[in-house]
Amino acid sequence: MKCPYCNHPDTRVIDSRPADDGNSIRRRRSCDVCGKRFTTYEKVETIPLIIIKKDNNREQYNRGKIETGILRACYKRPVSAAEIQKCIDRVETKIFSLEEKEIPSSTIGEIVMDELKKLDEVAYVRFASVYREFKDVNTFMDEIKKILDRGNA
């Protein structure tokens, strides 16, 4: 592993342990040249997952896009970074447990909304308003009424 500080090609592993998500290994490394330490994560390489977009274009799965969407939905909400990461991990686990090579983006959107509904209702409504492309205030209010009705049931 190349050192991110001095670009020396050889580094030593000081410590290895399972990462918090249980799906990767966290390694502490040290550079023999500059002496700096850094952390790397090792994940099992999976079959590339292809996402079928609304316009039928296809692109490779990108965890960063899910992360960006959830972070935007949770902006200025009382949700910790750890809770957000766990939410993203759950979404990703559900996606890969489908064991499909190609998945429609609509399926991923529904999985994200299910997880956001459990995490924070305001974040859920924010995400849904963009994802479902609410055209007017009435559509937005219908979604909020569903949440309120569920809470009263």
Q: Are 60 and 51 in contact (CB under 8 A)?
A: yes
Same-domain pairing of 115 and 65: yes
Same-domain pairing of 64 and 136: yes
Same-domain pairing of 29 and 56: no
DSSP summary character for residue 62: -
pLDDT single digits (tens) 79-119: 999 999 999 999 999 998 888 899 999 999 999 999 999 99
How large is the angle between the packed helices 105-119 and 81-97, nearest 10 degrees? 140
SS3 annotation, 63-123: HHHHHHHHHHHCCCCCCCHHHHHHHHHHHHHHHHHCCCCEEEHHHHHHHHHHHHHHHCHHH
Q: How many domains does the chain have?
A: 2
* Domain assignment of residue 77, given as a range: 50-152
In this structure, how many other beta carbons lie within 10 angstroms of the beta carbon of residue 141? Answer: 11
Residues 153, 83: Cα–Cα separation, whole Å: 26
pLDDT single digits (tens) 33-66: 999 999 998 887 666 899 999 999 999 999 999 9
